[in-house]
Copies of this chain bind each other. A is one copy, B any other.
Amino acid sequence: MLTIPLDGRAASPLYEQIYQYIRREIESGRLSAGKKLPSKRALSAHLKVSQSTVETAYGQLAAEGYLLARPRSGYYVQRLEAPPPVLRTESSPLPEASAAQTPPFDFSTSGVDTGRFPFSVWAKLTREILCEDARGLLQSVHPQGDPALRREIARYLRDYRGILASPDQIVVGAGSEYLLGLTVQLLGRAKGYAVENPGYPKTRRILEGNGAAVAPIGMDENGLRVDRLRRSGAEVVHVTPSHHFPLGTVMPVSRRAELLRWALEEEGRYILEDDYDSEFRFSGRPIPALQGLDPAGRVIYFNTFAKTLAPSLRIGYMVLPAPLLAVYRRDFLFYSSTVPSFEQHVLRRFLQEGYFERHLRRMRNQYKARRDILLAEFSRRDPGRKLQIQGADTGLHLLVRVCRKEEDELVSAAEANGVRVYGLSAYYQEGAAPKGKGGVVLGYAGLPPEKIGEAVFRLAAAWEL
């Protein structure tokens, strides 16, 4: 009979103590395989505990495979495979990825001014939705995203981006990064992919991370060079035609047409149009999206609310052309929507009730004011006209070069003066801009207007303007 020391005042219940004792006996080999345990009745009488206490302990041991229950016979010790050698060391906690120390002025291109996010409106809509539609919020949403949200996005795209898309063609997902990965699954990783060079480094990493081979394609003043794209043999190309990142180039209509012709020359060619900050064009109308010129369904359009609303709101979307939509519907609907229904409902209301357009207008003015201050300050501090500024007509960053100064020098002199600017070279596949093409990228969306004057003053001193 097992004599198990039990402690009625211990934190763990009695069945747990019995379970632990017997488990140790089995693991240590003191109770050997095949041995029959005392009956529940006998053990409970011996230990002076209830039968159900013993039963719970035996049941747990059986469930975990230490005991075998034979009907109308009893419990037997199972043969244990020798457990693997215990080498466990405490997992060495890595430090949290810490933000590098931020200088007083930072022209990061990932900054967004969330200070003007209409938080009280968002909170109000959130509260209303919590009251109205409790149950509906908890059920799975359609894998492509809430249909009502997709209708609102389709309307916005039609009115503001010249895109004719039915809500069916829209796939809402947890950010453009996720959707780009999904696209590789949709188009296949056997195709060759191409990206702009220079370009947004994440794009290449995401494509490669998803198993695609990626060719970097050079740019000229009109954007991606289609002649080089053709020579690369790639079948899918990722472009930012509305506002190239980081050069700021807007792809003119002739290059757009040339790119579309490339896509049409052969079956299976696709253009991934990333329209990431087209909303912030400061003069004239927005440039219509490439997607709107595409007659044959070869453009997949991507956009996100990260720049227009807040980076923490992980909602992006893509517009699939009809032939790809059929493939998506056949093979990919099994994926659950990656965006909580709650966010989808709030965003839907935010679009529906006109808040989004109002917010965009306000932010466009706000960002335009910053750009204007930035340009005016540069003009004022640059009496010798040594600066060359590019890409300032649209969205949230511009490119600056200084006569007879190398990029490295610009970056380090600025840093020494407390201003962080970003060398263009980081955006080149080769890790360096071609000789004489270096420069610095200034993102101004995250920099409050009142700091711009001082930042430019410091840059002018650092760069000896």
- Among the interface residues A63, A166, A322, A329, which one has the most CB atoms of the partner chain B within 10 A? A63
A78 at the interface (CB under 8 A from B): yes
A362 at the interface (CB under 8 A from B): no
- Residue of B with least CB distance to A202: B334
Q: Of B88, B169, B261, B336, which one neighbours A91 at CB under 8 angstroms? A: B169
Q: Of B115, B205, B206, B210, which one neighbours A211 at CB under 8 angstroms? A: B210
Query: How many Å lie between the Cα of A211 and that of B213 in the bound state?
Result: 13
Do most interface residues of chain A lie in helix, strand or loop, or is the interface mixed? loop
Q: How many copies does the complex hold?
A: 2
Query: How many Å lie between the Cα of A127 and that of B56 in the bound state?
Result: 43
A382 at the interface (CB under 8 A from B): no
Q: Of B135, B141, B181, B338, which one neighbours A115 at CB under 8 angstroms? A: B135
Q: Which of A113-147 contact B (CB under 8 A)?
A: 114-115, 117, 119, 122-123, 126-127, 130-131, 134-135, 137-144, 147
Query: How many Å lie between the Cα of A98 and that of B139 in the bound state?
Result: 15
Query: How many Å lie between the Cα of A432 and that of B123 in the bound state?
Result: 51
A402 at the interface (CB under 8 A from B): no
Q: Which of A64-114 contact B (CB under 8 A)?
A: 64-66, 78-88, 90-97, 110, 114
A366 at the interface (CB under 8 A from B): no
- Residue of B with least CB distance to A84: B260
Chain B residues with CB under 8 A of A314: 174, 336-340
A254 at the interface (CB under 8 A from B): yes
Chain B residues with CB under 8 A of A127: 123, 127, 130
A389 at the interface (CB under 8 A from B): no
Chain B residues with CB under 8 A of A311: 138-140, 336
Query: How many Å lie between the Cα of A464 and that of B178 in the bound state?
Result: 50
A377 at the interface (CB under 8 A from B): no
Q: Which of A329-352 contact B (CB under 8 A)?
A: 329, 332-343
Q: Mark A223-240, 1 if CB is under 8 A from B, else 0.
A: 000000000000000000
Q: Are B65 and A253 in contact (CB under 8 A)?
A: yes
Chain B residues with CB under 8 A of A178: 174, 178, 338
- Residue of B with least CB distance to A226: B81
- Among the interface residues A16, A83, A117, A143, which one has the most CB atoms of the partner chain B within 10 A? A83
Q: How many whole Å from A138's CB to the nearest CB in chain B? A: 4
Q: Are A65 and B211 in contact (CB under 8 A)?
A: no
Query: How many Å lie between the Cα of A138 and that of B307 in the bound state?
Result: 11
A28 at the interface (CB under 8 A from B): no
Q: Which of A210-256 contact B (CB under 8 A)?
A: 210-211, 222, 250-256
Chain B residues with CB under 8 A of A141: 312
Query: How many Å lie between the Cα of A258 and that of B66 in the bound state?
Result: 14
Q: Are B81 and A261 in contact (CB under 8 A)?
A: yes
- Residue of B with least CB distance to A346: B342
Q: Are A252 and B287 in contact (CB under 8 A)?
A: no
Enumerate 26 A-B pairs (CB-CB under 8 Å) in ascending A order: A56-B284, A60-B284, A60-B285, A65-B250, A65-B255, A66-B252, A66-B253, A78-B252, A80-B257, A81-B254, A83-B260, A91-B165, A94-B326, A96-B168, A97-B333, A114-B135, A114-B139, A117-B138, A123-B127, A126-B130, A138-B312, A211-B211, A306-B336, A313-B342, A314-B338, A339-B340
Known: A19-B285, A65-B255, A181-B181. 18 other contacts (CB 8 A): A19-B284, A56-B283, A56-B284, A78-B252, A81-B257, A81-B261, A82-B261, A84-B293, A88-B294, A91-B322, A93-B166, A114-B138, A123-B131, A189-B211, A210-B210, A313-B340, A314-B340, A340-B340
Binding site for B on A (CB under 8 A): 15-16, 19, 56, 59-60, 63-66, 78-88, 90-97, 110, 114-115, 117, 119, 122-123, 126-127, 130-131, 134-135, 137-144, 147, 164-166, 168-169, 174-175, 177-178, 181, 185, 189, 201-202, 205-206, 209-211, 222, 250-258, 260-261, 264, 283-285, 287-288, 293-297, 306, 310-315, 321-322, 325-326, 329, 332-343, 393
